[in-house]
Structure 1
Amino acid sequence: MPENAMKYIIVLLFTIGTCYCAIDFNERPRNFSIELLHYTQLQTDGHVVISPYGIWTLMTGVALGATGNSYNQLANAFILPKNRGKLIKGYRELASTVLDTKTNSVTLTSRNFVFLDNNFNVYPEFKRTLQNDFDAAVKVLDFQDPNSARIANTYIEKSGGRVSNVLRSDDFSEARMLLTNVISFKGLWQTPFNKSETVTEPFYNEEKTVIGSVNMMFQKGQFPYSNIRELESFVLELPYGDDGKYSMIFILPHPNRKVNDIYKNFLKVSLKDVFRKLQSDIDEFGFDEIDVKIPRFHITTNVVLNKPLNDMGVYDIFQPNLATFQRVTSEDIFVSAIVHKADIEVTETGTIASAVSTAYLADRISSPSFYANRPFVYFVIEKTTTTVIFGGIYSKPTVY
């Protein structure tokens, strides 16, 4: 790899401790979330967790330095405004809303870090933009120093990154600049599951064959629930805390439908439509007592996002002879890799869920059951902007 290569590393960690019993700018993380999750799961055998908001945050930082086709491709994929001032204003407004938790039941932090090689000449204006507009902590290091990773990780921890061992020595070996977003989320269910109700049960694939076992959490309660025919799915919402700002939704395909099928349906049904349907069912039918079963699980994903972003039309930034970052430096640089690391843990007291339901397609006729004993999609969402903070697919059972 050429010595002047730029390598962007995205490190996104989602943790919930088991001890915790142009477009409207905010449209982008929501729609981008579904598209990116679809293309990423193709690289991960369909069992995955990612942080669309964290990735979007980082790619906005990349866009701040891109020019020409490199910027245009990012703008088309992420639906970013062409005007630089609107890009910065929209980023700051969305970030301030999404990260404003207002409840002790949810802790959400997102921090941006930029590490520069000490012989890499960055335009002062771009550096100021990163610090002032992108809220990035910028630090200059000797990338050839074998201790550079340790120094950077210590800096991240002391700066409130809440995550340890983010970067490795290999990340610095051929890089000139590293952009890193570290995001973490801890959420307590508004209505926790009782651990004594958790039992081991079978988990099925989409062909209705038993493929393993899970520790299945259970509770009966009143939760937003809908059969959304346009999505060909049953949808359940479980809130965090008491203010309703953050929640997790679980999307379970109808019998004989598959997870991949519902992605096509999101072309005609938005996440805002999903929440509108949940609310309209509450207004019309009130809350039903729902039997909810969700696996307790832990998923870790480590994936290179180059191919998923290629699938979304982002090519030039990865090509040494095509990438243009004229707002960053006079040197010829490109993005060698975008690496995404994410981790999620779901327990009786905290985050995530699943989906499975009755075999019939009744809307709200009888008391429903939501049994997540086959593959399902999940999203952790900030509801006022419909921003997906974390999302994924559960399809490979383990007893956790």
Structure 2
Amino acid sequence: MATSTRTVRATCLCAAAAHDISLPAFAFPLQGIFCHCDSDRHSTGCMSLGIAVLPPEYELPSAWISKLQSTVFSQRLKHYFCPICGTMMLVHLAHDNGESGGGAHWDVCTGALEQLDGVVEFDCHELLSDTRDGGFSDFLQRVDGKTIARWAGEPGGEQLPQYWRSAPLSSTTAKKPTSSSASREERLHAYCRCRGVEFWISRPNSQSTQGITSPWPDVLHPYHSPSTPDDDENPTWWLRANNTKYLAGTCACDSCRLATGQEHITWAFVPTPNISLDAAGSVPFSRTFGTLRSYRSSEGVTRHFCGSCGATVFWDGDERPLLVDVAVGVLDAREGSRAEGWLEWWTGRLSFREDALGRARGLTEGVEEGMGAFGRHLAGAGRGGERDEG
């Protein structure tokens, strides 16, 4: 009797590297893993790398590989992304020491899959110790009632408790900036994994509002919602904590998912006058530097990624040329991957949740539940953060 098969489609944002993956029906659901290592964050621009493990006997067609650009991640690992739109699509683990066996297999980035429910079952967060603060794992505690394991390193070792951090948020990162020279010159380093894209962000200052206008983002209020407030109620919504931090939020829209190959991306909203291309702040922001590539994903929207390692870096809207979304995964804050000394997290809405529900309801509802719990945790700890009580 012939073995029944099931086909799932993986695609990038521009669809140039779309491909059908056919596997035995018994292979489903595929094991899903979120890796939080520093390298994966800087390789994707997201706060973790979400992959589904394909059976070791699966042979990737050469026609699919030829459409993708590879980047060497380690001695045994390669990442593959679309060179046109930047979507991270595949990970390949080679044989150990080039010998047969040794665990060689392919992984597909889950955000590239057209369907998630019934296709992937997420099992764990791994390498959380790299985050120093738990990272995105604190936004995702359960999926469909199943608790997601929280491994400090590789699966099978030490598990970390919810809201773990390697050290308390220090007074130096949590306090408001002073007018001292050291505080004025402090900058947050950001870079992709290969460092072909590298820049620095200053603290909010007088330049963070001058001449900058922007409508409310969906992360705060759904587009076309009758309850959306007038823009002049909070004309500088991107500044939080008495104008000492930048707003950060989480997006699940189809375009962001496909642009990254990841389920969610976290964005920080930063004025371009606060971004420099050198640590001293003397080289102003530019949209053409290093290995940065761009892809026009829709009318009025340009997405920027590293053409060498594939990391998502910026979302750029024509309607607000002096304000860009910076991918939080490329930030290197000493207090941890959430950069809480620089960012205030909005936990009251998963942006464009409507796009995600039909494809990944269990995961979407799990993230919403986790974000709400995280917001309450922050409020209880007195560390700020905002959530929607409605």
TM-score, normalising length from structure 2?
Answer: 0.23
Instruction: State which structure, 1 or 2, has the greater radius of gyration over its C-alpha atoms.
Output: 1
The structure carrying a bigger helix percent of its residues is: 1
Structure with greater contact order relative to length (CA < 8 Å, sep ≥ 6):
1
